[in-house]
Amino acid sequence: MSIEIVAPMPGIVAEVLVDIGDEVSTDQELIFIEAMKMEIPICSTSDGKVKEIKVKEKDKVEADQILIVLG
């Protein structure tokens, strides 16, 4: 079962904190998005392993866009 981590709002990817294959835990910070002149941390919603990273730093993202897939 895959878990998709999505952007809560439009913004720009400021920093990706994980790599494919990393084990992550619930509430761990995965990505920072710049929106409204603030850096917003995007956290894991469950334990898992990073299966895909669908964005890179400086990418523009839309609300509900998939950022990371956990497997």
Render pLDDT for 25-60 as a digit per residue (tens, 0 to 9). 999 999 999 998 999 999 999 999 999 999 999 999
Predicted local confidence at residue 57, as pLDDT:
98
Rounded Cα distance between 34 and 26, Å, is 22
Instruction: Report whether pLDDT(1) > 90.
Output: no
Q: What is the pTM of this model?
A: 0.94
Q: How far is CA 52 from the centre of its chain?
A: 10
Rounded Cα distance between 34 and 19, Å, is 20
Over residues 56-69, mean pLDDT: 98
Amino acid at 7: A
Nearest residue to 70 (alpha-carbon basis) of 3, 6, 1, 16: 3
Please give the domain boundaries of the chain with CATH numbers for all domains: 3-70 (2.40.50.100)
The two tokens of residue 53 are 């990273």
